[in-house]
C-alpha cells in the first residue's frame, strides 16, 4: 500500500484531514512548524494517534511521518 493510500484511509476512517492532524499535533505541543519539538519522541505521537483516533500501528506511523514532514 502506498503512503498516499494510508493517508487517504486515515482521513476516511477518522473524518479528519491531514491538515487537521497537523493542527492537533501543534495543539498537543508535539510539533512546531512541522518539526518535532525538543524532547518529544515519535512513540508519544504514535501512541496518541492510536489511542485518540483508534489507528493501527502502521496507520499511526504513516500519520506521524506526515505530521513531522517526513512524507508529503
% of the chain residues with pLDDT over 90: 76
When divided into structural domains, the chain yields a total of 1
Higher pLDDT, 41 or 3: 41
Determine the Cα–Cα distance for residues 18 and 4; give it in Å rounded to an integer: 11
72 within some domain: no
Q: Which residues constitute the domain of residue 38?
A: 3-67
pTM: 0.89
32 within some domain: yes
1 by Cβ neighbours in 10 Å (0-12 / 13-18 / 19+) ranks as: exposed
Residue-level pLDDT at 35: 84
Amino acid at each position: 500500500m502506498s503512503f498516499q493510500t494510508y493517508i487517504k484511509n486515515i482521513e476516511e476512517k477518522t473524518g479528519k484531514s491531514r491538515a487537521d492532524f497537523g493542527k492537533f499535533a501543534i495543539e498537543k505541543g508535539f510539533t512546531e512548524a512541522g518539526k518535532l519539538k525538543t524532547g518529544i519522541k515519535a512513540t508519544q505521537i504514535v501512541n496518541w494517534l492510536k489511542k485518540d483516533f483508534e489507528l493501527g500501528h502502521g496507520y499511526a506511523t504513516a500519520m506521524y511521518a506526515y505530521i513531522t514532514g517526513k512524507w508529503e
